[in-house]
Amino acid sequence: MEIDTKIIAHRGSRGTRPENTLVSFQAAIDDGCEGIETDVHFSKDQQFIIMHDETVDRTTNGTGLVKDKTLAEIKQLDAGYRFSEEFKGTRVPTLQEVVALLLKNNFTGIFNLELKTNKIHYPGIERAIYEYFSSIHYSFQLIYSSFNGKSLEILNHIDPKAVEARIFTTAAKQAKTLKRSKVIEDFHPDIKWLKRHPFFAPARHLRPWLVNATEDMQYCFEKNMAGIITDYPGRAVQLRAEMRGE
C-alpha cells in the first residue's frame, strides 16, 4: 500500500517522555519520525521558551506565567519529574536548543513551530522568530502554525514565502478564508472534527491532530494525508510500515 503520510511527533514523543523537552524530541527522532511539532512563548526577557501552556504549572515544579519569568528563572525548573522519577532534573529548552538538537541529528524533516499567541499575544514574537531563522542555516522544512490567525497574517506580511498552517478545532470557516487569501498553505484540524467533515479539504493539505488511536492512524494512512501529529511517533512508524507491507 502506498502511504506518503509524514509522522510528526507532538511535543516530541509525548506519550513516552516529558513533553517539549530535548529527551522527548530525541526519542521521536530515534523512532524515525519525519516531523517535530513544538510550541514557543516569550519569557519576561523575551527569550524563546519551548512550552505548551502559558503557565509552567502543569509540566514543571514551578508556578506562574511564562511571560512573567526570565530565562534564568525558567532554567531552574524541573520539567521531567511530573512525568516520572526517571526524568527528574530535565530542563525546559529554548528554541535555539531544540534547533541545535535537530542540526546535530542532521534532521531534514518537518519542524512545525506553533506560535502560542492565541491566549497571550507576545508583541514582536513573529518578527523575532523570523529574524532568528533568517540568521541561521538549517536543512529541515520549517512550518509555522497557530490557533491565532493574526499571528499567521503578521508572519505572512513579514515573509510571504513562509509555509504556514492554521490549527483549529472547529474554526474551519476562518481557516478556509486564510487559505483563499494565501496566508496559509495547509490545515491542522482536530482528528475528531475531521472525521465528521471528511470532505473538508484534499488529503494532501491535511495534517490532523491528535492522532493517537490505532484506528485514527489507519484512517489517515488509508487516505494518504500529508501528515499526522501524534504523541506516539514510534507506534505510528511501526503501523505505517506494516500497512506498507515492509
Amino acid 175: pLDDT: 85
User: Which residues are part of the catalytic machinery?
Assistant: 10, 52
DSSP class of 240: H
As a whole number, mean pLDDT of residues 221-246 equals 98
Amino acid 137: pLDDT: 97
Domain ranges of the chain: 16-185
Q: Please count the CA atoms within 13 angstroms of the CA of 122 that sit on its side-chain side.
A: 23
Residue 143 pairs in a beta bridge with: 112, 163
With contact defined as beta carbons under 8 Å apart, do 63 and 73 qualify?
no
pLDDT digit string (tens) for 180-212? 888 889 999 999 999 999 999 999 999 999 999
Confidence of residue 42 (pLDDT cuts 50, 70, 90): very high
**pLDDT at 170 exceeding the cut of 80:** no
Least confident window among 64-68, 95-99, 175-179: 175-179
User: Which of 184, 88, 103 lies closest to 143 in space, CA to CA?
Assistant: 184
**pLDDT at 77 exceeding the cut of 80:** yes
**pLDDT at 224 exceeding the cut of 80:** yes
How high does pLDDT run on average in the chain?
96
Percent of the chain having pLDDT more than 90?
Answer: 91
Amino acid 166: pLDDT: 86
pLDDT digit string (tens) for 125-158? 999 999 999 999 999 999 999 999 999 999 999 9
- Is CATH 3.20.20.190 correct for 16-185? yes
Amino acid 217: pLDDT: 98
**pLDDT at 173 exceeding the cut of 90:** no
Q: N- to C-terminal Cα distance for the chain? A: 10
| Long-range Cβ pairs for the range 123-126 (8 Å, 24+) | 124/46, 125/40, 125/42, 125/151, 126/151, 126/154, 126/155, 126/158
Amino acid 82: pLDDT: 94
As a whole number, mean pLDDT of residues 44-66 equals 98
Helices marked H in 39-190:
71-75, 95-104, 125-134, 149-158, 172-180
